[in-house]
Structure 1
Amino acid sequence: MSIEAKAYKCATEQMPAFLELLQSPVRLLPIVFVSPYANGDPTKLDADAMAQRLAGVAIVVNLQDPQVTWDIADAIGRSMSCFDGAARIYWPGFSPDQDPRRHRLYFGAKIRDLGATIIERSIERSIFTVAAFRFVPDPRLNDIVREVEQKDRQQRLENKKESSGIEWEEISVSLDAELTSATERIKNLESEISNLKANQEVLFSARTPGEIEDDEPATEETAPPKSVEEACIRAKDFAHLSILDSAFDAAKKSPFKRPADILEALSSLEEIAALGPGVDVLQQLKDRGWGKRSSMHISATTKAQNGKHYQFKYNNKWEYFEPHITLGSGDANSCASIHFLVDSQLKKFIVGYVGEHLPNTKT
């Protein structure tokens, strides 16, 4: 791609190209992703000014349509996405199944509180610090140098053989070449390891003076869950959620690759249930970014053809768990659903299913 000293725009039609670039294994430059606020207001950050200062060392992408942020969240997971006025640094080697803390997120509220200038400097300092690390020689250049040196040694050997006829020197030179090559490789690996360790230290610890930390020390409770089952286990103690055995059974079988999204969805349900009876559940889900991914009903056709799949035993009765949140799309690795119902008497949401998307008229 051509590198320009201005922010790239990303609308719906550019989203596939952005996702391809984001996840490309050959991408060498970090991406600074800047999102609008959920209500459509533009970011407080000056994306074009950052792009000018970061020209050649980073790619700045400025998103203007908040709806596209949700589509990107569907593709890479909410925990790895960036929305509601936030900004994020996506380092090279990005993968949706990584720890989200590897790719620094600056929340929109934090940008408002601290001011755009401080956040811009923090982003730029992180990138420039990494870019300024010492150069690790390309292994191909090392190979060329070794080849030239080996040819030089071979020529000296031939000269010696012509003058003295001693054959053991050939063995000596061969062993010397192998030793030199191995020593050189060890040095290169030590240099690369040292460089990677230094990079890692900057990625996780570089902060702007006076900036409030977004990240907390990783603990078992704060680290992203490693499976859908673990996400359900963490949500088991939520005060306003009750997770049935049927949900745990489905969660154990689910291969969904973004369990952090499951935990976030369950957390959203907990927050909504805590508001009490009579709340507009669907509107609350929309306010939390689950709008087009949630519904309070399944279609009549789905109910007629596959209704039994949506029934789970609760209070010794088989109930339809129609309200649901859908996460992602595609196969079971990238798509899952959560089905629940509202128990007004207990003032709780009852989660009956968490796992692979249930069959409908499209499957």
Structure 2
Amino acid sequence: MATLPDLESAAMNRPQRNLPVSRAIFDLSDRAAFDAAVSLSVEWIANTAAVELPSEAAHGDSFQLDAGSRATVNAFRLQDEQGHVWAARTTYLGDKVAGRKWLTDIFVEQRAGSLTRYGAQLICQCSADDPGFDHSRPRIVRDLIGKLAAEADGESLTNEVVPVLTEEVSQLAGLLYNPERRLPVVLISVDDTGGAQVDLERLANRLSGTAHLRSIATEAGFELTRMVGKRMSTFNGAIRLYMPGLETETEDPFKHPLWLCPHSGSNPRATHQIASRVLPLQFRDSEGSARFWRVGLLRQAASRALANSAAGSREDQLAAEVEALRAEIDVAKEAGQTAEALMTEEAAKLTELQAEFARLEDENHSLRERMRGLAQASSKTHPPLAPDDVQAVFEREPTLETSLRIVTALFPDRVTVLESALESARDSYAFRHRSKAFELLWSLSTSYWTTLAEGGSDVTARQCFGASYAAKEAETLSKAGRQRRTFIFEGAELEMERHLKIGVADNKAETLRIHFEWIADRRLIVIGHCGAHLNF
């Protein structure tokens, strides 16, 4: 089993980054909420990190624990005449990915005359070439909401998606347009039986504590449309994410993402997409009621107070000042890393949105491509090559679907593209590195195919791709992960772990995976997927 020292050694020469994964902040209204929340958090830390905590932990006092191969835990308590704050950081290994560590921060704050504030956040410390992960939040959030009375924005928080009745629509509208609202609202349109395009229980398990979760049936949906207008409403099985800051005068539906219900009625990917937007959202708001107390911040405050009140010799005063500055530097460094990661993520999302707008503006062209794809599926022939496709190559900006169509048109005896690959390519229309993708597909159809067709080994053939080729996945695949990589070719199932890869970010604008298989006795390459990274 990998240990913290093992990972630190493996990652020594690899650039590290801190990726903000999730943050939840809410109030607790129970009378003894502070002590109860600290006790539950300490119990969760011990179970999660699989360590025995010192006796100070049970009393909510400050302590440090270095469990070597298992975890490190630091807790700090600050108390003054205004109240008290307890914070803890746990660093541990949550998976087998080399160079990856998980940092969980928790705080509990009790101020005189105010409700108890609780916060938990998760940060992934990983290498720049980390393959990515699904966004989640610490289980303690769900556990605590299930045992204590939690609220945010004047609304109770639960571990379930709450149905909105017709007579409650005005209250929902008030929440949506509340200028002080801090948490997003996820509204799911359901049919009269409660059916939705996502699994509501699974969605609640992922998001409770980080968003207001609501479902709305047909009749109540009509009432919401009447109150807020069609463009800001949610109906016909759709899901809308209402971001904070929604105002009637400046409302823009494009700032509040909408997931339309697919023809199949089921869209399990939406849960992952919504989670990736919602869970890191609170990192962008760090003042006032959203202030997140980390161990470093508490130590900074304590060090600064000690420096300001330092007595004794000049050397003692300087030592206190140096310690205060060191604490401030640590806090500023971590804040800078988080801000940089958020800016990178926002830039990628902006690029994805811009590409989506371009796709909509070019809707006629997109529809023509889709019609060609459907024609190819029905006739079981390779998609035809159009003049626009050739022009796109000269301009070095062919879409993924265009690149697939070009290689199958030029090499019909070497490459077969399945409809699943075309669909995934259309879904990744926003992918930015189109020229690189075409180069990989071209090498796949020429150099790679030629080497294998002449009897060469895969080890030799793959050299034309450099680091962009993987014979199998980096992690062990779950049953669902294998199903995602299994495609139907000529009536039979064909599993495709081999893939070409570009990027590791969790968005369609920067990351691409091309899954394929080599049919040796037919000297044929079959491509089953050409789009976003498939979950493990």
TM range (shorter): 0.3 to 0.5
* Structure index of larger Rg: 1
Of structures 1 and 2, the one with the larger relative CO (CA 8 A, separation 6+) is: 1
Q: TM-score, normalised by structure 2?
A: 0.30
